[in-house]
Structure formats: structure tokens, C-alpha cells
Structure 1
């Protein structure tokens, strides 16, 4: 028994909505491609062309699946689902023929979706007519449905939500969950924005559109973005602000070590964990070697000791033990960051020995103090754990026995 038409449409499920939307897109795109000034029409409707191109793999799979099922179950040819299927297939062939006719490349893509994206490249390569404004060109080059634009906007939403709100002085602007979001959003935004700026360079040989947008990107967004260029500017602004805030935060908490940008994602969660427990360790990873992680732990402890005495219970002796344990971990490290840490410890030994420092490790004006001259007691040891031990002794701790981890 042949099922009634309503049942046939129900069997299509959500594929009926896909086929109906595809029918409307095919009709509109075919008209654009048949127009006399078809390049101008396509340039003004690149979002439609990309919608068809991006959905084409799913549409092809749906057409094939529905056709097999209709043949197997004997659906009537005059039923509404079969009429929809037949019209979508006819329009697909018409669009494919128009695309084949308009493409000038000698080697044309076999798949319709790829052919549509190739046609987009050729239209943008042809350039705008004389007198076109820069903003209009930017809108054409950056349609809103670019995958890279969507990725950049998703990352920017995270940055805006976390860094837009006010925070107390010295407090982290995010919790553990938000730190993880920021950590994952950073590389996404970096890759997406790089691809978008490269797209502008690709289709604007003069460079005027990019220069125009880069100048506007310095301004804070004042209204919700709508067009493709506005979405790019919005994402670029919040990405830049997030990077500036993170750089300042890491410099404050890890001075004098300068964290590398590829280390930022690894450090965010650890800094949040240190707010809960000072015993939190920074794990080694593909980005952070064991020694480098220890070096950053030393920097974090030094920065914490140089700040104003914290509120509530605080064990200074335990802080010195953590500092020495981290120094043991970083014993094999070399480079300018290690030298800056050594210099900071030597500076403390010198000033503490002369009774010129406050109860904390360093004063706020430490950058104005002279460098430690050679031959001072601080130069008698060169390894990081030894310098930490000397600093502890200079702070007035007992000399008997050495610190243990």
C-alpha cells in the first residue's frame, strides 16, 4: 500500500526543510548567474553563493538518499515530496550549467560546491568597478558567513564577556572555567583573524581596504556588528584587548621572567589554581619543559613575596620553601630569564644585608636601585637554589640547616 502524501512528507523529516530552502537558494542564484551584469549581481550577493556552496555536500547526500528511498518504497511521482525532489534536482542542474558557463579557469572543479567557491574567487579577482567605496569593497570581500569570521566572533564573545567587566586591583579577571574558555579561544582567534586579513590581501591588490579597516580597528565598538567588516573589527578589537590584558597580568605575576606567547594558555589555569592553593604546581607539557616550568614557579613565588603582605593567615617560611623547591626544579635552565632571576635574588641579598629593605622581599622602587657589583657575597654562589638559600639567610632566617623540598 502506498502511504498518503502527509506520511511521505513526514518521512522526509528535517530533510524537507533543507530541500525547500535549497530550492529557494537555487532559484535566486540561477537568476543572478543568468543576469547581463552577473558579476555585479554576484558580488552584491556573495553570502548567497557561499550558503549554496557550503550546504552543497549535505544537499547532494540528501538528494541521493531520498531518491533511493523513494524508489525502494514506490512513492507516487505526483506526490508533493517527489515534486519537491524533482524540482530541486532540475534547479541543481541549471545552477551547475550556469556555473560551468561563467567559470574561466581551464581546470574546473568537479564538485558543484567547489566550483561555486572557485567562481567566488574569480569574481573577487576581477575587482570592483571604478569609483567603488572602500567599505563596499570590504563588505564584498568579507561576507558574514565566512567560517573564519564565525570562529573569530565566537572567540571574541569569550574575550568580551571576560574582559569587559570591571575587576578589583590585583585580582584575576576570570575563574577556572573562564580561564579554560580564554585558553581555548586564543588560538582560534589567532588563526581565524590571520586568515581573514590574508583574505583581504588576496582580493585587494591595492591594500587600501586593509589599511582602511586597520585604522578603524583601533576604535572600541559602539554598536552591535552586522556586516562582515564590522564583525571582523569587533573580533579584532576584543582579541587585541584580551592580549594586552593577559600580557600585563602575566608580567605582574611572573616578573622578572617574560612568558612566551605560546606559554600563555598553559599559565592561565595554573594562575587560577594558585589563587586557591599556593602549593599548586605548574605541570610540564609539550610547550613547557620541566626546567622552564620550575623557572616560572620561581618567578611566581618571587612576585608574590614582593607584593604587600596578604590578608589572613600566611606562612612566610612555607613560601621560602616553595621558592627553593621550584629553584631546584629549574636548576638546569639557562638563558636571559634565569639571569634576571639571579640578578633579582642578588639584589635582595645585597640590600637586605645592609638593612635597606622592608619586611617584604623588594620595594616598589626596586627598578631604580643600582646593579649588584662583582665580588659581593651574592656572587659567591651562582646556581638558583644556592641564591635562594642566601636570600633566605639574608632575610633573617636561621643559618643552621638547609631548606628541603
Structure 2
């Protein structure tokens, strides 16, 4: 059986690593596997198809910002990609993130309906059933349930400079994404599964398959992280994100920093160079790394992982921290709470950063006892069952 995955990235960022993790499992089980991607360079995959190039991504991004039409550009490269898909002739097409300035969803879904192949779509956010945004819960918007218009998040990713085309996008997406004969939607969290069942995608079967991680990499790992950043005698509160922004709770670390004791410090992984220069003296900034072993070293060096996200699906950062032996404190939001129990962390009310800091201090020496299996090899076998149905 031949499986084709399509995602923005290949082998980097959380969704890219999920795709390559699944790719390796498929190869180990005797499947043929290929990943099509649109951004950056591939990692940990020797059979890939690049959709477009840097110039295409740049032009797509400009058009999207001017017209608010994310997903409806990149026509030429998508047509070429469809030719590549027809030559490959996969048995199953497994979709991941289709936003990210690299593919035309109208051309793609017209092909999918015509080809009549088995389609699996893993949703890593909510973009597939809104007129604009990947995340809406943290701003309290529920227009997506009926009809998007006057989007309150046109200035958030995928940012639009002038237009609000959310109503047009919503109608087009609903028409394109519904009506496939054989498509199963997968969500990593029960939270997102519940949202899908309230959207225009509700007629498709929905299965929850939790994100998994590589437990051979993410485990207690010795390092010189504390010595490198002069943190030998500090209690370390760690935060990790691909991009630090308002939704990820970036501002809460600054609020907590004002109340840290002399023997406490915050370490933030994933900051930009600009953000790094804005950090206060008791916040150590580390720019984004795609080196998973280095990440495991940083997790292990910390005392506790703090995830103040205001909305997330099923963040792998929580899993990575727990697998490295440090407890997790998170806001009661989205799917971030699903892997957390009293034996491995704490959950506080959304936005209550004072309670978050209090709990972080209280459980920073907790011995983590895992209640959920994070092993990617066990979890992603569920995808193989879907492929064979």
C-alpha cells in the first residue's frame, strides 16, 4: 500500500515531525510512503515531493495578506503537484496542515473528489472549518458554527492587511471540503473532535488519535544547560513554543517574571532574536531549535514546564516535557489539559497566572507518573488501521 502525506513542513515543527514519525512507522511496517511539503527543507524523510519554492511561498503570502484568501493561491505549483500525485498514484492521501502559503485547496480538493481515493485528514487546528483563522476559542468567537463574517482576527495569522474575505472563504471551504465519499477526519484531542462535530465537517467520521513523541529521544537526558546559561542554583520554569505570541501566553511570562524570587528563573525556547533582546534579566531566551536531542536536554534541565497557552489542540510540548520527567502546569484551555493529571502536573483557570506560578512552585519537585501512553509507535498504529479500512 502506498501512502502520500501532505503538510506545510517535513520533519520540522510539531506537524512536520508527526508526518515524518508516521512515515518511518509506515516504512517499518512495509508500506510505501512519501511526504509532500511546501516550506523549508525536509528532514528525516528520504522520499519527498516539494510543492513550489521560496518565491511561490513569498508571492502566495503577499496575495493572502492583500486579499485575505489563504489557500486560494499557488495555482501553478498545485497543478504541477497534482500531476506528480497522479504519477505516484497513492492508495491513501493523508492531509495535515493545508494553510501556510504553499498550496491551492480548490485545485487539490477538486482532484480528490475526481480521483475518489481514500482520504485521511488530521486537523492540527481549526482553520479547515473557519473563514479565516486557525484559532478562535481564545477570543470567544463562534461564528464558524453557522457563517463567518466580520472576522475579529484578520490581523492574526494568516494576517490580512486590508480585506476581510472570511464570508467568501467560509462558503468556498464548505463547498470544497464537504462531499468527499471516503474521508475520515482525525483530531489529536477530544476538544477538537467536539468542535468538528459542530462544524460543516460534521458528516464525516471523526477519530481521536493523540499526538505521539519519540520516547527514545524525549527522556531524562543529561546536559550542561544549567552551566551554559549560568543557572546552576536556580529553579527553572521552562516555556517552549514554535512561535511565541499572545495565544501562546507569551505575556504571562513577563507578569510572572516580576514576581520571581532570586533563586528562580524563566527559560523560554523559541523566541526570535528581537524577542530575545526584549527579555527581562530573569528570563533566558533560546531561539528555536529543530534539534530534538537538544530539546530533551533543555526539558530535563528544568524543574517544571509552564504552558500558558490560551488555545491549543494537543500540544506535543506538554508530552515532551513529561517524557523528560518534569511536571506540567497549564491553563484549562483546549486540548492542552488532556494529558495532564494530578500525578504529573496541575491545571489552573485560564489567564490566572498567579495561580500558575503558585502551582509551579508547589509541584516543581513532583515525581512524574505518566497515566497516558505517549509512544508514537503505539499511537500511530491507529492510522494504519484507518488506511486498511
TM-score class, shorter-chain normalisation, is under 0.3
Bigger helix fraction: 1
Bigger strand fraction: 2
Q: TM-score, normalised by structure 1?
A: 0.23
- Which one has a bigger Cα radius of gyration? 1
Q: TM-score, normalised by structure 2?
A: 0.24
